[in-house]
Amino acid sequence: MSHVAQAIIDRHDHPASWWNEFWSDPQQHFGPARQELIDIAVAEAEDPSAITIVDIASGNGRYAVPFAVAGMRTTAIEKSPVACGVIQERATNNGVAIDIIGGDFLSLPNEKTNHGFNVVFSSGLLEEVAAEHQPAVVEKVQSITRPCGLLMLKFCLEIQDRGVTVEDDSVLPLFKKDEWTVVRHDVDKHVRESIATIDFENRLRTELIIARKST
């Protein structure tokens, strides 16, 4: 097992330097984007260019790039400068523009997020954050979702070799019923093979919450 593989198993709140090393290796990625999630986002308006969407903890732009290719006005937030470079390169190669904000999402001032987006998307962030900070992440992604906007939150509950990353039933209660309507909630009951192409066994259990903010 490579040192990157060992480190990913040991990780808790990895610094940007760790992710820089990870994304420096073009072999490392988390698989292709799920087309149905892109379709759900783009269905928010007849004209995709009317949709402002943010991909938080974008990594190599696995979702940000297809969001932009689908015509949505796309922002990517990512703390690893190397990953930001990869997103930029992939955007250029696809002939699209992405507003890339480099930095830690949690300490990002609200002005930097244009005071909100029609669609807020995040895949693979919550499990990277220590359990005590996870509610703050959820609160912040909620706060940058505009009224009537859609929040799509995808995260790993459990990863083989790492154990529990996000406690079962800990995130949904953070969606207050008078502010949010949950339109989709998928939870894996059992660990399954990941589509990630990383160099060690990676079986996991994920949760997806899609919720609409009220006015």
Ligand X SMILES: C[S@@+](CC[C@H](N)C(=O)[O-])C[C@H]1O[C@@H](n2cnc3c(N)ncnc32)[C@H](O)[C@@H]1O
Q: Locate 73 and state its tokens.
A: 């006005």
For tokens 């039933």, what's the residue? Answer: 169
Using CA atoms, how far residue 84 sits from 37, 73, 77, 81, 150, in Å, is 22, 17, 8, 5, 24
Q: Which of 5, 9, 21, 30 binds ligand X (CB under 6 A)?
A: 30
Give the CB-side neighbour count of residue 15, counting CA atoms within 13 A: 1
The reply to whether 128 sits near ligand X by the rule CB under 6 A is yes
* Binding region for ligand X (CB under 6 A) out of 112-120, 124-132, 186-194, 207-215: 124-132
Nearer to ligand X by Cβ, of 52 and 58: the residue is 58
Which range, of 36-44, 119-127, 171-179, 204-212, touches ligand X by CB under 6 A?
119-127
Q: Is 41 in the site for ligand X (CB under 6 A)?
A: no
Question: Nearest approach, Cβ of 90 to ligand X (angstroms)?
Answer: 12
Q: Least distance in Å: CB of 159 to ligand X?
A: 10
Q: Which is nearer to ligand X, 6 or 181 (CB)?
A: 6
Site string for ligand X, 52-71 (x = CB under 6 A): -----xxx--x---------
Give the orientation angle of helix 3-10 with respect to helix 16-24, to 10 degrees.
140
Q: What is the DSSP string of 53-99?
A: EEEET-TTTTTHHHHHHTT-EEEEEES-HHHHHHHHHHHHHTT--EE
The smaller minimum CB distance to ligand X, of residues 105 and 175, is found at 105
Q: Between 31 and 147, name the residue whose CB sits nearer to ligand X.
A: 31
Residue from 83, 96, 166, 171 touching ligand X (CB under 6 A): that is 83
User: Could you tell me if 56 and 130 are in contact, meaning their C-beta atoms sit under 8 angstroms apart?
Assistant: no
DSSP conformation class of 110: G
**Is the CB of 104 or the CB of 181 nearer to ligand X?**
104
CA 70 to CA 99: how far, in whole Å?
15
Interaction site with ligand X (CB under 6 A): 19, 30, 57-59, 62, 77-80, 83, 104-106, 123-125, 128
